[in-house]
Amino acid sequence: MRLGDALIAAFTGLVTFMLVIGPVTSMNWNEAGALALATFATPLFVQAADAYQTVAFSSRAGQLGRTLGAWTILFAGFAVLAIFFDVGDAADRRWFGVWFGLGAAVLLIERVALGSFIRRWAQEARLGRKAVIVGGGENAGELIRALESASGNDVHICGVFDDRSNERSPASVAGYPKLGNVAELLEFARIARVDLLIVTIPISAKGRVAEILKTLWVLPVDIRLSAHTEKLRFRPRAYSYVGKVPMVALAARPIQNWDIVMKRAFDLVVGGLALLLASPFMLATAIAIKLDSPGAVFFRQKRYGFNNEVIDVFKFRSMYADRCDPEAKVAVTRGDNRVTRVGRFIRKSSLDELPQLFNVLRGELSLVGPRPHAVNAHTSERLWNDVVDGYFARHRVKPGVTGWAQVNGWRGEVDTPAKLQNRVDHDLYYIENWSILFDIIILARTPFALAKAENAF
């Protein structure tokens, strides 16, 4: 919608200029500047009016009023600038007047058309946030009734999860079923792609709240503590709101909203360029693999992706075809006789990882993130999620071709719990401190980290 509003501002400005003044080639610098400013500023003014929120479309009059108000303020700003800098003339005033009228009409028509779709999709639960209530009983019932009665609520409740099984936690709360306990919520939230967990346990029960948070923080979701029945009151800035229900934030999904768009755009642009530049090396590697041993050039392995989803990660084959280990049952060690001559070189230089750029373009991996580990990865006969507490928290973002752990020397064989703990600690640091600049720094450091290949074989 932001892009659409910017295009409407530009299109109506050009059309009205040609109708009122003449060909676009006759446009002077003041007029071109006004057109460019309107194109850039329209989404900003509409954003300031909160007209891009899904809940804003619950009221047609409210949405139209917000949009028209933002457009009017934008042109009022143009009028002030024209008076202050004394750049207006009769032709400019006619153009601005017609532009304002046509632009307002097109924007309102756009809002009416989109609004009908958005309201229908919201009723069908195709828009909005999927939420789960954690904790049953009367507190949960009051919360559900408060959410359902709130105007402009974009939350769709999937059900209730509670560890209790006595009369304080009935099988149904305010018409929603109790679906299981908190431990079972982990798998449900991943399968159902839940966006929001609302904990209804009293703040005074801080031990129970802490225990629940310790279990659920590994999920890539927002976690909120309901405060609508609490007598204890925090400062207003401590609250976030779902509808009109006050909440206290316990955990937030990392890399969300526009950050997702920025990171994906970065992956597509830089990843596509990297694939283009790497294609000669990839071709040479493929030929070397074929000449060295029979079998396929590529190797696919099941690994954990975002939100614990299992994905097929592409690599160049570095082992003999009849000794490959797609399930990663036996870790590769120094001098491993399963690895080919070419395989030793491409593993040490990480050339075997280059096909993962295809995973990046497919959206399964990011250029930078926690490295995707094999589903059956283990140390001392223990799966890695059993070795390190909170291991799955590293899957709250997309895994990456390179990562903060790798550029800090934590790559290669993981034969001790301490090595795995260091990897996970670095991954969690990356998740909590992500930025595009951080990604650029990691990418810049990656070639130097690859040069230190003492742990890769």
* CATH number (domain holding residue 236): 3.40.50.720
| 402, β-bridge pairs | 368
Confidence of residue 365 (pLDDT cuts 50, 70, 90): very high
pLDDT digits (tens, 9 = 90+) for 131-173: 999 887 788 888 888 888 876 677 888 889 988 776 677 788 8
Query: What is the percent of the chain with per-residue pLDDT over 90, rounded to a whole number?
Result: 30
pLDDT score recorded for residue 326: 66
pLDDT score recorded for residue 235: 54
| Residue after which a domain boundary falls, among 62, 96, 123 | 123
One domain for residues 333 and 238? no
Among 7-21, 96-110, 132-146, 438-452, the least confident range: 132-146
What span, in angstroms and rounded, lies between the C-alpha atoms of 142 and 12? 49
What 82-86 contacts at long range (C-beta under 8 Å, 24+ apart), as own/partner pairs, is none
Q: Is the dihedral of CA 34, 35, 36, 40 positive or negative?
A: positive
pLDDT score recorded for residue 28: 83
One domain for residues 238 and 305? no
pLDDT score recorded for residue 88: 57
pLDDT digits (tens, 9 = 90+) for 94-115: 888 899 999 999 999 999 998 8
pLDDT digits (tens, 9 = 90+) for 267-324: 999 999 999 999 999 999 999 999 988 888 888 888 889 988 889 999 998 888 777 7
> 197 and 222 in contact (C-beta within 8 Å)?
yes
pLDDT score recorded for residue 344: 85
One domain for residues 436 and 298? yes
One domain for residues 316 and 297? yes
| Residue after which a domain boundary falls, among 107, 123, 139 | 123
Domain-embedded: residue 456: no
- Does position 234 have pLDDT exceeding 70, yes or no? no
| Residue after which a domain boundary falls, among 64, 92, 123 | 123
Average pLDDT over residues 263-267: 95
pLDDT digits (tens, 9 = 90+) for 36-48: 999 999 999 999 8
One domain for residues 92 and 221? no
Q: How many domains does the chain have?
A: 3
Range of the structural domain that residue 437 is part of: 258-451
Domain-embedded: residue 237: yes
Residues 414, 346, 322: CA angle, nearest 5 degrees = 80
Domain-embedded: residue 323: yes
